[in-house]
């Protein structure tokens, strides 16, 4: 079983919909949780970064961490075609530990 | 802004060739990483370096080596390329300190025929 599980999709939704992307993990020691966005033929770029539990909001994006359930989510409000990309979750135990990556979910926003 | 550049976007090599992939970062980051990305498998760590001339194996180091002679440059070497090394190769850098965010280059799509 992988340490981090992420549904690869693709997830296809109409423009304007609320999108929910999720990862589950097995290692309770993870403390740092990240979401990266990767456009086609580009490298991943950091989208959201959360330490420990709770919510973090940045514009149309909200990241949630539920450590009791070992579950993290990324919500995208008012989704746009430009949000079409692969979204990767990543997490680590601390700054001296390596990131553990999900497989990535391909998201398609239809105009 | 952090900039991580990779020497080639696309590369085609023959089986058995020695292949060099170069990565340069301009933000004085201590840590640098090489990943490969394959569909359904996500990012897998090949090697990383936390200082000049230092290197550590990642999850899949077999068939690869690395070199870090200068802080800003981290090279990945395929000693004898094989078809199963056809993949997207991503370089990343990260500063020391709290957190774990990494900054990525655009990737090199390597095809070994």
Q: Which residues of B touch A98 (CB under 8 A)?
A: 45, 48, 58
pLDDT at B98: 62
Interchain CB distance below 8 Å, B40 and A92 = no
Q: How far off is chain B from A96, nearest CA to CA, in Å?
A: 8
Closest Cβ opposite residue B101 in set A6, A49, A102: A49
Smallest CA–CA separation between B14 and chain A, in Å? 22
pLDDT of residue B100: 65
**Alpha carbon of B112 to those of B15, B82, B86: distances in Å?**
6, 6, 5
- Per DSSP, the three-state class of B22 is strand
CA distance B31 to A6: 26
Tell me the pLDDT tens digit for each residue of A73-98: 999 999 999 999 999 999 988 766 78
For all residues of chain A together, what is the average pLDDT?
93
pLDDT at B2: 64
Could you read off the pLDDT of B40-86 as tens digits, one per residue?
A: 888 999 999 999 999 999 999 999 999 999 999 999 999 999 999 99
Per the CB < 8 Å rule, is B100 touching A90? yes
Predicted confidence (pLDDT) at residue A38 exceeds the cutoff of 70: yes
């Amino acid at each position: 079983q992988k340490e981090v599980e992420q549904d690869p999709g693709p997830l296809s939704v109409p423009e304007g919909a609320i999108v929910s992307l999720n990862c589950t993990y097995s290692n309770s020691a993870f403390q740092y949780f990240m979401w990266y966005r990767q456009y086609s033929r580009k490298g991943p770029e950091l989208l959201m970064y959360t330490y420990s539990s709770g919510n973090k909001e940045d514009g149309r994006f909200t990241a949630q961490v539920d450590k009791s359930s070992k579950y993290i989510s990324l919500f995208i409000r008012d989704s746009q075609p430009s949000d079409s990309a692969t979204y990767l979750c990543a997490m680590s135990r601390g700054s001296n530990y390596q990131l553990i990556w999900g497989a990535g979910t391909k998201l398609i926003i239809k105009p | 802004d952090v900039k991580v550049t990779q020497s080639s976007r696309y590369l085609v090599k023959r089986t058995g060739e020695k292949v060099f992939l170069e990565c340069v970062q301009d933000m004085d980051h201590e840590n640098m990483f090489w990943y490969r990305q394959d569909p359904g498998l996500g990012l897998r760590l090949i090697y990383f370096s936390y200082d000049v001339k230092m290197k550590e194996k990642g999850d899949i180091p077999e068939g690869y080596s690395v070199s870090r002679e200068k802080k800003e440059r981290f090279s990945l070497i395929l000693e004898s390329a094989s078809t199963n090394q056809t993949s997207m190769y991503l370089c990343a850098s990260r500063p020391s300190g709290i957190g774990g965010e990494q900054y990525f280059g655009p990737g090199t799509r390597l095809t070994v025929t």
